[in-house]
Structure 1
Amino acid sequence: MTKKLIIAVVVIWALVIAGGVGLGVVLLTRGDSGTDASPSDTAKQPTSPKGPDGRTLDDFYDQKLAWTKCGSDDCAKLEVPIDYQKPGEGSIELALERASATGKRIGSLVINPGGPGAPGTSTVRDANLYFGSELRAAYDIVGFDPRGTGHSAPVDCLSDSELDAYIAADPDPDTPQEVQESKDNSEEFWQGCKARSGTLGGHVSTVEAARDMDVLRAALGEKKLDYFGFSYGTRLGATYAELYPQNTGRLVLDGAVDPALSSRDGALSQAKGFETALRSYVGNCVSAGNCFLGSSVDAGVTTIKDLLEKIDQQPLATGDPEGRKLTVGLAFYGLIVPLYSKDNWPYLDDGLRKGLKGDGSTLLMLSDFYGSRENGTYTDNSLEAISVINCLDDPWSITADQVPSQYPDFEKASPTFGKVFAWGLTACNGDPFRSTDEPDLKIDGAGAAPIVVLGTTRDPATPYEEAVAMAKELESGVLVSRDGDGHTAYNKGNSCIDDAVNAYLIDGIVPKDGLRC
């Protein structure tokens, strides 16, 4: 299996487990491209005092990018302040990659694949898989590894062997020993983050990443930022629109998250989303006839739950050359990964069929894909960055002793996964970092150009209701809905969605609000 075969799952949003449209006729006028790309006077800029090195924020905005060839694309580095409140007191470099427009170029389209923690440069290398030919022809696709991720000063918390143990742990500890293991894992994780990441760990928030995007806009020579964000990338895009409404161009936010949700309510929403996706998957199996999971949806879901309980008691052999077995933690991730795209359901069929026969090899392979683990090592730091970024954005958490009181609400939302997501509420316990840049930012994007928000009705990771909410909360939000399974809507074979997105990004034609595809 390659990442290209199940590429949709890289846009995973905020899955943190403890321990382990008919087109409208509105036309937007594009400003002439030029080099006058300084910060907007009305943007919410931080103060810009000189630091010890004499630099101000303007110095970062004035930088020129030095693009060099990297394979078929171009690569560069963008320098940004570690702390925007103190721009002269240290900087980091962000990795950039650009796939040039294949036709008549109209500008740069900055993209983010989600996470938080997923590197955007790798998405550019797969631009032909993510973006339709019309967009590829019209735009330079520009990806960046957000601060703290990929090759952009990545945060670090655990060694590879420690990360193996972390993700393999039971995400729903149900014995005193497992509860203690969960507490120990969390303590080890955050102590490791502090020791290995230092000051940077407190400066990888979504607000700061959005500020980086405005510096990137200026360095690209664009007066307005045109942007396509998937999953968590929708939160990043909405944050940009809040901070820099006058610099906001054509934004498409696909697989939207509700930025107004609390951590707890967001976890409940996602738990419900994965339950819906699982039942849709089982329902598809049952409707095809002779379903190996059972004769009804309820029976099939019970079969899966029973399998997880058996794995919890006795991990499965996998044939892994390192001798790893499929623990219940690894089985959980292996189960949810294929739910991100209906095209990947055959992988889940294979994983469950083998699992029921005592073979955990396919589910282990899927879990490794989730964690970006290849050939015995981790190819990026997404498993670490997701927790650091999420907990900077919202450090709220509960203690292990408080988790059982959450069970009723979470099991109502998801009888299969509810307890796992309830334990996820402890994820920020012990976090030593706190955001110092707009930690309580409220998002409505007042003053921004129309923002197209895409939602899929049976999206597991960012449930449809969150897209509805985001579109309402954004003053210029325009909701476009896809009736279907899987995570995100664009380039999934729905021509109605693709036509609406292309018409907006390329021609400035705003979709009709409420368009259903």
Structure 2
Amino acid sequence: MEYYKLVVLALSFASIVSCTTSSHHGGPQIQWGACDPSVVNDTSLSCGFLEVPLDYQDPSVGKARLALIKANATGERRGSVFFNPGGPGGSGLAAVNEDKDLLLGLSGGVYDVISWDPRGVGNLTVPGEVFCFDDFAEYTTFFNGTIELTGIEETGNFTNPADIKALLVQAPTMQKKYEQLGQKCLQSPSGKFLKYIGTAAVVRDMVSIANALDGPGTPINYIGTSYGTLIGSWFVNMFPERVGRVVIDGVIDPLVFATQEPALSFRSQLISADTIYKALITGCALSGPSGCAAASEGDGPLDIDAKVQALLKIAYDATKLNASVPITSGNIRVELFSEMYTPADWSNLVNEEYPQIVQIVNGEAPGNATLRKRSKRLIGRNPLVKRGSQPNDSPSFTSTAIYCADSVDLRGTTMEQVFKGIISTAQNVTHLFGSSWPATFYRCSFWPVRSVERYQGPFNKTLANKILIASNLLDPITPLPGAETVARLLGKDAVLVRQNGFGHTTVSEPSTCLNEIAVTYFTNGTLPANNTLCEVDADFEVFSGVNTADILAHLPSTDV
């Protein structure tokens, strides 16, 4: 599932229908009604609310309100399956509206698919979206003249001493800005809720919804992608006795997250990113000029890479001469990185966007609104950074609020240490994407709030039922070792299935093999052998005439 650009959500309950959740088990009820068609355009979906404690340890603090969505089972209903699309900060309402058929299909059609906007997401759940600035203008004024707006400028693999010096000299300024940002967020209307936003609360909220829908003590079924896998890892270990059928796909390593600062451990999440870029330029070369506008006749992958590097260098040089260029090399890197998530978009990238970027960088076209708008959408679905939008276009800090509230305690890390880590990542882990900035993760070393509850282990509990862990062999942001770690920790209670493809989560490329494994698991509980390898469907073309197997067979071993 893609990473959903936050939509401003509004639900209408003018026509509440009489399908109230059964109350044989007592406790709060959910009234299901029509969703607002401007938000959820699929009229088969139902929406509702559930009140839960803001703080499960101290109910006197008050209530939170969760906005829920439901897709009815297509077959004989056996219960509910819960879904979180990741982010953190992805809207469950938008996700089910967009991917209802996929979710019902993967779960065999025998469960109602339930999702919700977690705390800090949207404007229906309370606490809602986290805004720290009144509008976009205030945000840009606050960060004016910093890398927050331009990205980091560097060439090659960040070995130029002048580039290194230029970044390090900004460290005190950016540290002060991030410390001030934290205080601004605390003083905003969202501030009083920040300590009640986080993954442990989301897990407890899911259990509350399950109790209301299916009854206390019932098995809880769950699908989580990307950040949703952290929810999954925490859930199965916080409530091992409630584990029903659980699938996590695109796995964040919960041990690393529980013990290391995200700003310093983020490099471990980028180990496959350059290989996936090689897959893109390899596919482009195989397709040739007819299928890839970035290719000339006879080009190999290295020829196409040379064009990309030249483009970055032109943008870099232009930015050095004039800080107000329409698109910087830093912007291009972030845009390119977000494209590593979704191979289905690669053809559009090289044929539609790449020529536009070339024109803009060469001064042959203005920084046109269409491209900038699309860039904002791409960045919006990218868990590196979340640019949510309100009518005044104030950036959302929900991703930061969730991820940082869950992180380890502050350890006195300086921005200089963070920057040195970024330089090292660009030199040693991913030449192309190591310097991507801004990113949610880098704020956590300076974020002033931690959640009232964090789960930090153990991650090897004995579960009531076996779970399914899925991962692409090559994932740009949640690489295979995260899935392998969770599978190893859970031992006999987990089965790992790998997909021989690239992109963020296995759903980024279609695989009948993996779909059948999911359906069989959800419908009768059986799982394949551990470490099963599924192939991507051969009829899925990444570029015209070129499929995933073609690209994997031709990946260059030469360092790009």
Q: Shorter-normalised TM-score: what interval?
A: 0.7 to 0.9
Shift of 1:304: 2.6
Shift of 1:258: 1.2
Residue 516 of structure 1 aligns to a residue whose secondary structure is strand
Paired residues of 1:482 and 1:489 also in contact (CA < 8 A): yes
- The number of aligned residues is 461
Q: 1:357 is paired with a residue of what secondary structure?
A: helix
Verify the 8 A CA contact 1:267 1:421 in the aligned structure 2.
no
Q: Does residue 225 of structure 1 match 2:223?
A: no
Contact 2:23 2:29 in 1 (8 A): no
| Within-5 A mapping of 1:50-449 | 62-70=27-35, 71=37, 72=43, 73-128=45-100, 130-131=102-103, 133=105, 135=107, 137-150=109-122, 151-152=124-125, 153-154=127-128, 155-161=130-136, 162-163=138-139, 169-172=149-152, 174=163, 175=166, 179=171, 182-183=174-175, 185-196=177-188, 197-222=190-215, 223-261=218-256, 262=260, 263=262, 266-290=265-289, 292=294, 295-314=299-318, 325-349=326-350, 350-358=352-360, 359=365, 360-361=367-368, 363-369=371-377, 370-371=379-380, 377=391, 383-395=396-408, 398-406=413-421, 407-420=423-436, 426-438=442-454, 440-449=456-465
1:499 to 513, 516, 532: 516
Residues 1:276 and 1:99: Cα distance change in structure 2 (over 3 Å): same
Q: 1:67 to 1:462 in 2, by over 3 A?
A: same
What SS class does the counterpart of residue 88 from structure 1 fall into? helix
8 Å CA contact retained: 2:106, 2:518 = no
Q: 2 CA distance for matches of 1:141 and 1:342?
A: 26
Q: Which amino acid aligns with 1:187?
A: E
1:510 alignment partner, SS class = coil
Distance 1:393 1:451, change over 3 A: same
> In the aligned structure 2, how far is the partner of 1:239 from the partner of 1:376?
31
- Cα deviations across residues 109-163 of structure 1 (Å, max 9, x unaligned)? 1100001111111111123354253637322111111111123222222334145
Q: 8 Å contact 2:333–2:432 — kept in the other structure?
A: no
**Identical residues among aligned pairs (%):** 26
Q: What is the rounded CA distance, in whole Å, between the counterparts of 2:121 and 2:433 in structure 1? A: 28
On the 8 A contact 1:96/1:145 being kept in 2, the answer is yes
Alignment pair present for 1:463 and 2:465: no
1:485 aligns with 2:514: no
Q: Which runs of 5+ in 1 are unaligned?
A: 1-6, 13-32, 38-60, 317-322
TM-score calculated relative to the size of structure 1: 0.80
**Alpha-carbon contact 2:85-2:226 (below 8 Å) kept:** yes
The DSSP-based 3-state class of the residue aligned with 1:138 is coil
Task: Decide whether aligned partners of structure 1 residues 400 and 93 sit closer, same or farther in structure 2, where only a CA change above 3 A counts.
Answer: same
Task: Identify which of structures 1 and 2 has the higher relative contact order when contacts are C-alpha pairs closer than 8 Å and 6+ apart.
Answer: 1
Which secondary structure does the structure 2 equivalent of 1:509 belong to?
coil
Whether the aligned pair in 2 keeps the contact of 1:270 and 1:460 (CA below 8 Å) is: yes
State the Cα deviation string for residues 351-396 of structure 1 (Å, max 9, x = none): 2222122255465233211327699857897x41111111111145
Query: Partner amino acid for 1:65?
Result: I
**Residue identity matched to 2:197:** V
SS in 2 for 1:8: coil
- Give the direction of change, closer, same or farther, for the CA distance of 1:199–1:184 in structure 2 (3 Å limit): same
CA contact (8 A) 1:331 1:363 kept: no
Q: Tell me, in whole angstroms, the C-alpha distance in 1 between the residues paired with 2:494 and 2:104.
A: 23
Structure 2 unaligned residues grouped into runs of 5+: 7-20, 38-42, 154-162, 382-386, 535-560
- Secondary structure at the aligned position of 1:286 is classed as helix
Q: Which moved more, 1:110-119 or 1:175-184?
A: 175-184
Q: Given that residues 101 and 141 in structure 1 are in contact (C-alpha distance below 8 angstroms), is that contact kept between their aligned partners in structure 2?
A: yes
Q: 1:439 and 1:102, CA in 2 relative to 1: closer, same or farther beyond 3 A?
A: closer
1:288, distance to aligned residue in structure 2 (A): 2.3
Counterparts in 2 of 1:266 and 1:479: CA distance versus 1, 3 Å: farther
Using the alignment, how far apart are the partners of 2:173 and 2:392 within structure 1? 23
Cα pair distance change 1:266/1:129, threshold 3 Å? farther
What residue identity is the alignment partner of 1:172?
I
The answer to whether the Cα contact below 8 Å between 1:206 and 1:393 also exists between their aligned partners in 2 is yes
Cα separation, 2, equivalents of 1:422 and 1:380: 16
Counterpart in 2 of 1:41? none
Letter of the structure 2 residue corresponding to residue 190 of structure 1:
G
Alignment correspondent of 1:55: none
One-letter amino acid matched to 2:266: A
Confirm or deny: 8 A CA contact 1:460 1:486 kept in the other structure: yes
Q: For the structure 1 residues 164 and 275, does the alpha-carbon distance in structure 2 shift closer, same or farther, using more than 3 Å as the test?
A: farther
Compute the TM-score of the two structures, normalised by the length of structure 2: 0.74
C-alpha contact 2:80 2:221 (8 A) present in aligned 1: yes
Instruction: Note the 1:32-47 alignment, pairs <5 A.
Output: none
Letter of the 2:374 counterpart: L
Secondary structure at 2:286 match in 1: helix
Whole-angstrom distance in 2 between the partners of 1:409 and 1:375? 31
Q: Which segment drifts farther, 354-363 or 109-118? A: 354-363
Residue identity in the other structure for 2:327: L
Distance 1:446 1:123, change over 3 A: same
Q: CA deviation at 1:74?
A: 1.2
